[in-house]
Structure 1
Amino acid sequence: MNTLQTSTPARLLYLHMGSKEPQRQIDFYQHMLDMHCESYADGSAVLKGPNRAVLISPADKHGLLAAAFALDNQSHQAQLRQRLEQKGCRVEDIASPLLETGSFSIRDPQGRETIFGVAQDLQLGELPGMPGRLQHVVFQTTELEAMVEFYVNTLGFTISDNVVDQETGKLMVCFLRSDDEHHTLAFFRGSKNEWDHHCYETNEWNDIRDWGDRFAKERINIFFGPGRHGPGNNLFFMVVDADKNRLEFSAELEMTTAEQAPGEWPQSEHTLNSWGRAWMRS
C-alpha cells in the first residue's frame, strides 16, 4: 500500500487560524514566536518565523480553518492528487500565499480542511528567532474510528501508536505520521469536535527551557507539563495563545521507519505524561 511516508512524504508547513480579534492574535505570534508579519487590507496576515508560519484571518469564532502540508515536489503533488481522486476523495484547487500553483485541499467527513502543495521558496530556515519548527496538529473528535479510517485508508497517513482503554478495548487516541517523524497528526476521542493543539519541535531540552523562560517573563503560565509523552517519547510543555488556542513545545520526537508496526499504550495519565499528571481529554 502506498502511504504518504513511503511515496509522497508530507510535513506540516503552516496553519490557517480564524480569530474574532485578529490583531491581538497577530501581535501574540509576532512578539512571542518571533514571527514577521505581512498584513492585508481585510485584516488578515501571513506570519513567518524560523521554520514556522501561520495565516490569521478575521472570523466569527476562534479556531483552526485549515492545516497545510508541504510535499517535496510537483511530481509528488500530482501523484498524491491522482491517488486521492482515484479513491473518490473530493479535491479542490486552492491558492495559497505560501504554496506554489497546483496546490489543493480536501475535507474529511467532519469538515476539517487539509491542504497539500509544494512550498514556495520561503527560506523560513534562515529567519531569525528561537528554534521551533511547526511539526504537528491534533484534534478531538466524536467519531475517532471514522477519522482514523479516512486519514489512513484515503489520505495515506500511517498509524504510529494507539492508546486503548484497557477495560473496554476502545480506541482513545491515534497518532498518525506522514513522513519519518512519529506523528504529524493525532486524534483524541472527545465529547465534541474541536482543535486540540498544535506543536513546535525544538532542537533540544535547553530550547524547552528557553521557551519556558520566555513565556514566564510575559506571565503566560504553562497549561500542561513539563513532561515526557509515552507515544513519541518527546519532551514537552503547553501554553495558550491570545485566543486560548493551545500550543505545545517539544523536543526529541521519535523517528520511525516505514515498516514500524503500530504500538499500543494503555489509556492512563502515565501514557500521556510519564513524569506525572496529565491532561485527560476523556
Structure 2
Amino acid sequence: MPTLQTSTPARLCYLHLASKEPQRQIDFYQRMLDMDSQVQADGSWILSGPKRAMLVSPADHSGLLACAYDLGDQARLAALRDRLIERDCTIEDYHSPLLEPGAFLIRDPQGRQTIFGVSRPHPGADRQGMPGRLQHVVFQTTELEAMIDFYVNTVGFTVSDNVVDEQTGQLMVCFLRSDDEHHSLAFFRGSKNEWDHHCYETNEWNDIRDWGDRFAKERISIFFGPGRHGPGNNLFFMVVDADRNRLEFSAELEITDVAREPGIWPQGEYTLNSWGRAWIRS
C-alpha cells in the first residue's frame, strides 16, 4: 500500500495557533525563536524564521487550530489528494498565505485539522537565527486505536515505534512518520483530547545546550529533560511558550528506513527518557 514515506513524503511546515493574548505570544516567538511577524488582513499574524513558521490568530481560547505539511511539489500534492479521495477521506479546499494554491484540509475522527500543501517563500525564512526546524507535533487522545487507524490506513503515515503497557498489553503511545524521519506525528493515550507539544529539530548536542542557555537567560525553566528518548533516540528538552503551550528542542532524531518494522517499547520512564525521570501522561 502506498504511504506518505514511499510515495508522497511530507514534512511539517507550520502550525496555526489560537491565542487569547496574541501579542504576548508573538513577542515570545520573536524574542526566543528569532521569528519575524507580519499582520494579515484578517487580524492574524504570520511568524516566520529559519525553517520554522506559524500563524497566530486572536481567539477566546489558546491552543492548536491546525498543523500543515509540505509535500514539496504540486504533483505529489495531487497524488495525495487522489489517494485520500479513493480512501473516502473528506477533502476541503484551503487557502493559506504560507502555501501555494491547491492546498487542502482533512479532519480526523476527533476533529483535528491537518493541512497538506506546497510551501511558498515567506518573510523571515532567510533571516539568521539559531537552528531549529519545525519537525513534529504530538497529541493526547482518549481514542488511540481509532487515531492510528485513520492516520495509517487512510492518510498513509507509517508506524515507527509503539509503547505498550507490559502488564495489560495496552498500546500507550504510537510514533508515526511521514518521510524518513522517525516521527512527524505521535499520539499518547490520555484522559483528555489535547495538543501535547510541538518540536524543533536542531543540528547537534551543542545546539541543545545553546537553546537551553537562551531560555535560562530569560528565566524560562526546562520542565522535562534534558535527556534522550528511547523511541527516536533523540536528545531533547521541553519548555513552555507564553500561552503555556509545550515546545521541545531535539537533536539526532533517528532516520528510519522504509523496510524497518515497528519497534515495541515498554511503558515507563526509561523509554521516555533513558537518562532519568520522565513526564508520564495520564
- The 5-angstrom pairing of residues 215-234 of structure 1 reads 215-234=215-234
- One-letter amino acid matched to 2:73: N
Aligned partner of 2:271 in structure 1 is: 271
Q: Give the deviation of 1:122 after TM superposition.
A: 3.7
Give me the whole-angstrom Cα distance separating, in 1, the residues matched to 2:2 and 2:269: 34
Map Cα deviations across residues 86-132 of structure 1 (whole Å, 9 max, x no partner). Answer: 11110000000110000000000000000000111348663210000
- TM-score normalized by the length of structure 1: 0.98
Aligned: 1:119 with 2:129:
no
- One-letter amino acid matched to 1:254: E
Aligned partner of 2:108 in structure 1 is: 108
Q: Secondary structure of the residue that 1:154 maps to in structure 2?
A: helix
Aligned: 1:14 with 2:3:
no
Aligned partner of 1:145 in structure 2 is: 145
Q: Secondary structure of the residue that 1:257 maps to in structure 2?
A: coil
- One-letter amino acid matched to 1:110: Q
Number of positions where the alignment pairs a residue of Structure 1 with one of Structure 2: 282
Aligned: 1:181 with 2:181:
yes
RMSD between superposed Cα atoms in Å: 1.0
Task: Could you tell me which runs of 5 or more consecutive residues in structure 2 were left unpaired when the two chains were aligned.
Answer: none
Contact 2:91–2:104 (CA<8 Å) still a contact in 1?
Answer: yes
Aligned partner of 2:244 in structure 1 is: 244
- The 5-angstrom pairing of residues 77-116 of structure 1 reads 77-116=77-116
- TM-score normalized by the length of structure 2: 0.98
Aligned: 1:39 with 2:39:
yes
Q: Secondary structure of the residue that 2:16 maps to in structure 1?
A: strand
Identity %: 75
Give me the whole-angstrom Cα distance separating, in 2, the residues matched to 1:204 and 1:141: 31
- One-letter amino acid matched to 2:19: S
Contact 2:36–2:124 (CA<8 Å) still a contact in 1?
Answer: no
Q: Secondary structure of the residue that 1:126 maps to in structure 2?
A: coil
Aligned partner of 2:68 in structure 1 is: 68
Q: Secondary structure of the residue that 2:155 maps to in structure 1?
A: coil
Give me the whole-angstrom Cα distance separating, in 2, the residues matched to 1:31 and 1:14: 18
